[in-house]
Structure 1
Amino acid sequence: MTLLIDIRQPEWMREAILRDTLAPHLPDVELLCGISEKRDDVVMAAVVDLYPDVIELAPNLKLVQKLGAGVDGILHGTGLPEHIRVTRLVTDLPATEIAEYCLAHVLQFQRNLHTHRADEAAKNWNPLPPKLTSETTVGVLGLGVIGGLTAKKFASLGYKVVGWSKSQKQFEGLDCRFGDEALDGVLKAADYLVCILPSTDATRDFINSQRLALMKPNAVIINAGRGDLIVDQDLIAALDSGAIAHAVLDVFRQEPLPGEHPFWEHPKITVTPHVSGWHQGDALLDVAKNYMRLVAGEPLLNEVDRKAGY
C-alpha cells in the first residue's frame, strides 16, 4: 500500500521534503510524491488542499490527511466521497505563530506605528500617546486550540479578553461566552476582533454588514481563520463608511488573492499572504502515525467530524 504526498505549494514545502521526513518512520511503505496516473495502491493522501484528480487517480483512497488544521479545502467543493475519512494536524507551534501574528498587528495599532511611519516619510514630528493595554479589549472568535492559545496570550499581557465559541468552552481567568445570543456583546466590546473560526456552513459569511454595524468605529478586525468568514463587500463598505477602522487579513476566499481584488489597494486593509501559521514541527510525524493506524485498523489521530466541518 502507498502513501501519496500531494502538496502543490513549493513556497511552503516540497513533496520530497515531507517524503524524506516520513521515510525513516515508514521504511516499508512507498511514499509517492504527486500523482499523474491511476494508482490502485494509494490508500492515504497527505495534502494541503484536495484536488479532484487525486480522487480520480486513487480509487481506493481511504484517508485524506490535512497538513495543517483547516479542512475546508478538502471538504468543500472537492466531491470527496462520504466513505473517505479526514484527519488534520493539531499542534501548538502554528497556533503560537498565529497568536504572535495577531499580537504583532495589535501592537502596531496600540503604539500608533502606522501613523508614525507615515509621519516619518513626511518628516512630521507628531508625538502620539500609545493606547493603554489595560483599557483595551480583544475579542477572540473561535476557542479551539489556536483561538484558546491566542486568547490566553493576550490575557497574559494584560489585555481584557472576551472569547466566543459556538459551544461552551472554559479557560481559567478568561471571559468565555458561547452561542448566538452572546455574540453581539463580544462584537460591541471589542477594540480588536480576532477571527479564528473554521470554515463551516455555520461560519461562512459570518462577519456581515449586520454584525459589522455592531462594532466600534475604532475597531480593528484581524482574520487569521478562513477567508470565507467575512463578506468581502460588506467589509469594504464598513471601512469606507467608517463603521470600523481597519482590517488585517491573512486568509481569503481565493488564494493567491487575485491582483484585481480591491483589498490590495484599500488604504484601511492590510493584506498578508496566508503566513500567520507556518511551521508544523513534529506534528508532521502524525502523518506516519495515522498511516500505521489506518493499516492496523486503530483509531486515527485528530479525525475530523465531516458533518461539523472540523
Structure 2
Amino acid sequence: MRRLLFMAPARRWAEYREVLPGAIARAGIKAEVSPEVPDAEVDYIVYGPGDGGPTDFARFPNLRAVFSLWAGVETVVGNESLTVPLTRMVDPGLREGMVEYVTGHVLRHHLGMDAHIVNPDRDWDNTAPPLARHRPVTVLGLGELGGACAGALATLGFPVSGWSRSPKTLPGVTCHSGEDGLDAALSDAEIVVLLLPHTPETENTMDAKRFAQLALGAVLLNPGRGALVDDEALLEALDSGQLGHATLDTFREEPLPGDHPFWAHPKVTVTPHIASETRPDTASEVVAENLRRAEAGEPLLHLVDRKLGY
C-alpha cells in the first residue's frame, strides 16, 4: 500500500478528497491519499504550494516523486532539497480553460467590445472592426497551453505568429525561435499573448524594447506569469499610446495590492488569476496515471527539466 501526502492548502483537499482516490483506484493502484502522513511513510507527494516558505523535502526519506498540481513550477524547481523526479500539471481542463480565456479576450479587443459595453455618452460610432485575417496576433510560448491557444486563434482566421525557445511546428501558425525569431514574432503584432514559463531567461521578456516593436496601439494579454512583464515599461508604453490596452491575469505580487497603479489605469484590465484553473477531476486522472507509471517503472508524464526550469 503506497501512501501519498496531499501537500496543498486545506481548501484544496476538500476538492480532491474524493476524486483523487477514485482516479487512483481506477488506475489499479492500491494507495492511500491524505494531508496527514508521517514523514517516514510518504512515498509520493501531490504538491500545490500555498503561501508558506520553501518545503524541506529532505524530511521525507522514502519519497519517490512529487506530482505538482500547477502548470508553473518556478516556486519549487530550484529547491535543492528536492532530488526526486518532479512533474508539472498538464491536463485537459487547464488547457481548455486557457483557450477559452485567451480566445475570449482576443476577440474582445479585436472587436472593440469595451467601447460598446461601457458607453455613457451614447456615441453612435458604427465603424466596423477589421476581419480577423487582418489582425496579426503573436503568442509567446508554444507549449501545451500556448500551442493550443495559437491553434484556436488560427482556426478563427487570425494570422498567428508564435515564439518558443526551441523550434516548433504548428498547423496554421508561423513559428519562430531564438533571439532573432522573437524580434520577428513581435514585429508589428497587434495583439500579444504571453504564455511563457517564468525562468531567469524569460524575466521581463516584455520590456521597453519589445513594446516598441509592436504595432502602435497594440494590446497585451498576460495570462502566463507576472514576471514576464516589466511593469514600469508597460505603464510607460500605455501612457505614451504605444500600447492601447493591457489585460493582465498574473502579477508579481498576488493578490495585487489595492494601491497598485494597474487597478486605476484606464487602459488596464485586471483579472484575478482566473485565466485557467487546475480542475480536480481532470488533474486527478493525470496524477493517477503518473502514479501508475512510477509504480510500473515507466517514464513519467510532464517531467520537469531542472536546467530549463519547466
TM-score exceeds 0.5: yes
The correspondence of residues 106-121 of structure 1 with structure 2, limited to 5 A, is 106-119=106-119, 121=120
SS of equivalent residue, structure 2 residue 262: coil
1:180-214 per-residue CA deviation (whole Å, 9 max, x = no partner) reads 11211221231100111111121111111111121
Q: Which residue of 2 aligns with 1:152?
A: 151
Of the candidates 56, 66, 69, which is equivalent to residue 67 of structure 1? 69
Q: Which residue of 2 aligns with 1:47?
A: 47
Q: Which residue of 1 aligns with 2:177?
A: 178
State the shift of 1:223 in Å.
Answer: 0.9
Aligned 8 A contact 2:58 2:82 in 1: no
SS of equivalent residue, structure 1 residue 61: coil
State the shift of 1:53 in Å.
Answer: 4.5
Of the candidates 14, 25, 31, which is equivalent to residue 33 of structure 2? 31
Shifted more, 85-94 versus 26-35: the winner is 26-35
Letter of the 1:134 partner, please give it: R
The correspondence of residues 241-252 of structure 1 with structure 2, limited to 5 A, is 241-252=240-251
SS of equivalent residue, structure 1 residue 257: coil
Structure 1 CA distance for aligned equivalents of residues 300 and 291 of structure 2: 9
Aligned 8 A contact 1:112 1:128 in 2: no
Q: Which residue of 1 aligns with 2:102?
A: 102
What's the C-alpha RMSD, in Å, of the aligned pairs? 2.2
Distance change (3 Å), C-alpha of 1:172 and 1:118: closer
Shifted more, 53-62 versus 25-34: the winner is 53-62
Distance change (3 Å), C-alpha of 1:15 and 1:57: farther
The correspondence of residues 128-147 of structure 1 with structure 2, limited to 5 A, is 128-147=127-146
Structure 1 CA distance for aligned equivalents of residues 296 and 150 of structure 2: 38
State the shift of 1:240 in Å.
Answer: 1.4
1:69-97 per-residue CA deviation (whole Å, 9 max, x = no partner) reads 21112225xx3425132102222332222
Letter of the 2:49 partner, please give it: D
Query: Which gives a bigger RCO, structure 1 or 2 (Cα 8 Å, sep 6+)?
Result: 2
- Structure 2 gaps of 5+ residues are none
TM-score, length of structure 1 as denominator length:
0.89
TM-score, length of structure 2 as denominator length:
0.89
State the shift of 1:292 in Å.
Answer: 3.7
The correspondence of residues 293-304 of structure 1 with structure 2, limited to 5 A, is 293-304=293-304
Structure 2 CA distance for aligned equivalents of residues 261 and 56 of structure 1: 38
Structure 2 CA distance for aligned equivalents of residues 153 and 289 of structure 1: 27
Aligned 8 A contact 2:57 2:82 in 1: no
Aligned 8 A contact 2:6 2:34 in 1: yes
SS of equivalent residue, structure 2 residue 103: helix
SS of equivalent residue, structure 2 residue 180: helix
SS of equivalent residue, structure 2 residue 175: strand
Aligned 8 A contact 1:92 1:146 in 2: no
Structure 1 CA distance for aligned equivalents of residues 56 and 16 of structure 2: 18
Aligned 8 A contact 2:176 2:184 in 1: no
Shifted more, 284-293 versus 26-35: the winner is 26-35
Q: Which residue of 1 aligns with 2:188?
A: 189
Structure 2 CA distance for aligned equivalents of residues 274 and 46 of structure 1: 22
Structure 1 CA distance for aligned equivalents of residues 303 and 96 of structure 2: 22
Distance change (3 Å), C-alpha of 1:54 and 1:257: farther
Letter of the 1:3 partner, please give it: L
1:98-145 per-residue CA deviation (whole Å, 9 max, x = no partner) reads 1221121122222221112232x2333332322321110010111111
Structure 1 CA distance for aligned equivalents of residues 19 and 77 of structure 2: 26
Aligned 8 A contact 1:112 1:130 in 2: yes
Identity over the aligned pairs, expressed in percent?
A: 38
The correspondence of residues 189-268 of structure 1 with structure 2, limited to 5 A, is 189-268=188-267
Structure 2 CA distance for aligned equivalents of residues 284 and 30 of structure 1: 14
1:123-172 per-residue CA deviation (whole Å, 9 max, x = no partner) reads 33332322321110010111111111111111111111111111110012
Aligned 8 A contact 1:290 1:300 in 2: yes
SS of equivalent residue, structure 2 residue 220: strand
Aligned structure 1 segments of 4 or more residues deviating by more than 6 angstroms = none
